[in-house]
């Protein structure tokens, strides 16, 4: 006998059951089993759902039985043919066609999956475009690319065609130029058809108050971002880093006010430690303030530290991961290989980029690339596509923030969705990328009977 425990927020289960009920009612009479009544009971009294399943069937057409078990945050699944997991969004969600004049006038069938951002009601595409290369005008961002306004227009158009309508930037990216270029491009679309994410915290000019997460700096920076983006609100607003000198109460209270004022829809953080995030969440709970629903983190096949502390925390607290640099700071592009020199156009040729990013062991990197090479040959995919698809199958991942120097690179990255690696391939990549955990995580791994690993 196997015993399983599933935890999920009552609010998200209610949202899911409402969507299922609505769809079935359109198709014909709805028969709701006892387990669905249990869901409403649990929602009504605020009890956790433990090991229950939601079963839906249509009396008129009698389609194959579908089941949904409360699952990890950010990656809902339903049971498809032969018991294989099937993306929930591929059954229910269809993104509108990218018609700039009437964006929502028709529907297209896109392989892009839309996932819930943590324990929120916001659904985001599994790929997000990072606009850090837009308007590149300093040494750091020039090393990645210098995307002009005309090039940005074409890139955003390709993204929208593919169902990718989520765009990430920050106030410090090229001193605000990234936000300006992105804002000009998105004017061609209806505001409600795109999702915009931006960030603040890092220094944005001289002066002792022109940095950090203080009320003073945050108000100033949000107003500046809105002006540069040409919008009156942002969908996701991140704290780009943790400010240890500003009281957390001041930061969260200011963010809550942004939400109440309608200038921010959802709040998120980036590059936090576990205790940074947990303290922030506890204050939101204590005072009824807006809470972080997302955490923008570094996570890749050559950087799996996120799994040790932040992933279990995200599972427990319902915080979706927005993964930055999913190709390991440019190391998993397929251009870096054992025994070959670094390509002359690699961003890693720039010292400021190399010094300010992750520093994996070279032999470890080559071992991972070798494994990726084998899987790529067996699947007919590219190394970047394999690396991105592996991440999409990890718990808590809501979206991967991808970038591109040109249209060809973008189309290659967009092709990382719509298919899944086999369990054998995943296991092979897991083994090649495994590293010795730091304390106390190596010790905790010895007690998986009651402290199971998230992956």
* Catalytic positions, written as ranges: 173
Q: What is the DSSP string of 399-422?
A: EEEE--SSHHHHHHHHTTSS----
Assess contact for 393 and 430: CB atoms under 8 A: no
- Match 């120097």 to its residue by tokens: 405
Q: CA angle at residue 306 from 300 to 310, to 5 degrees?
A: 150
Neighbouring-strand partners of residue 147: 134
Residue closest to 256 by CA, chosen among 217, 210, 301, 287: 287
Question: What are the helix and strand counts (H, E) for the chain?
Answer: 16, 15
Q: Where are the alpha helices (DSSP H) in 68-214?
A: 88-92, 139-142, 149-161, 177-186
DSSP string, 122-155: -EEESEEEEGGGBT--SHHHHTT--B-HHHHHHH
- CA 414 – CA 232 distance, rounded (Å): 29
Tokens of 94: 């269809």
DSSP 299-314: -BTTB-GGGTTHHHHH
- Concatenated DSSP letters for 12-56? HHHHHHHHHHHHHHHHS-EEE-HHHHHHHHHHHHTPPP-S--EEE
Q: How many CB atoms lie within 10 A of CB 181?
A: 26
């Amino acid at each position: 006998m196997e015993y399983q425990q599933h935890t999920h927020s009552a609010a998200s289960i209610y949202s899911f059951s409402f969507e299922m009920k609505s769809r079935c009612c359109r198709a014909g009479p709805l028969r709701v089993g006892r387990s669905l009544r249990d869901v409403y009971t649990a929602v009504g009294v605020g009890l956790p759902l433990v090991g229950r399943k939601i079963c839906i069937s249509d009396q008129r057409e009698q389609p194959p039985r579908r089941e949904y078990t409360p699952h990890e945050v950010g990656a809902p699944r339903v049971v498809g043919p032969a018991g294989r997991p099937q993306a929930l969004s591929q059954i229910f969600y269809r993104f509108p066609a990218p018609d700039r004049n009437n964006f929502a006038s028709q529907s297209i069938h896109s392989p892009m999956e839309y996932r819930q951002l943590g324990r929120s009601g916001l659904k985001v595409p599994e790929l997000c475009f990072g606009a850090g290369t837009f308007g590149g005008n300093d040494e750091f961002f020039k090393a990645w690319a210098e995307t002009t306004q005309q090039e940005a227009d074409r890139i955003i158009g390709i993204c929208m065609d593919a169902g990718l309508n989520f765009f990430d930037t920050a106030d410090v990216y090229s001193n605000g130029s990234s936000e300006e270029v992105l804002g000009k491009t998105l004017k061609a679309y209806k505001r409600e058809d795109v999702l915009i994410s931006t960030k603040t915290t890092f220094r944005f000019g001289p002066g002792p108050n022109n940095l950090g997460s203080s009320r003073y700096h945050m108000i100033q920076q949000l107003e500046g971002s809105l002006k540069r983006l040409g919008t009156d609100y942002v969908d996701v607003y991140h704290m780009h880093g943790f400010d240890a000198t500003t009281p957390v109460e001041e930061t969260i209270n200011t963010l809550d006010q942004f939400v109440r004022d309608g200038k921010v829809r959802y709040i998120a953080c980036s590059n936090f430690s576990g205790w940074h995030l947990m303290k922030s969440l506890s204050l939101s709970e204590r005072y009824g303030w807006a809470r972080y629903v997302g955490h923008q983190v570094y996570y890749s096949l050559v950087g799996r530290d996120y799994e040790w502390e932040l992933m279990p925390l995200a599972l427990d607290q319902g915080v979706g991961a927005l993964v930055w640099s999913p190709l390991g700071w440019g190391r998993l592009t397929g251009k870096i290989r054992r025994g070959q020199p670094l390509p002359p156009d690699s961003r890693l040729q720039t010292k400021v980029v190399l010094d300010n990013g992750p520093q994996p062991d070279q032999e470890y990197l080559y071992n991972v690339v070798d494994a990726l090479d084998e899987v790529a040959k067996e699947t007919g995919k590219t190394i970047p596509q394999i690396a991105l698809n592996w991440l999409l199958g990890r718990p808590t991942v809501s979206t991967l923030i991808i970038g591109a120097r040109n249209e060809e690179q973008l189309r290659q990255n967009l092709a990382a969705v719509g298919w899944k690696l086999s369990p054998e391939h995943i296991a092979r990549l897991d083994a090649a990328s495994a590293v010795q955990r730091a304390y106390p995580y190596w010790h905790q791994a010895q007690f998986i009977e009651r402290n199971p690993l998230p992956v």
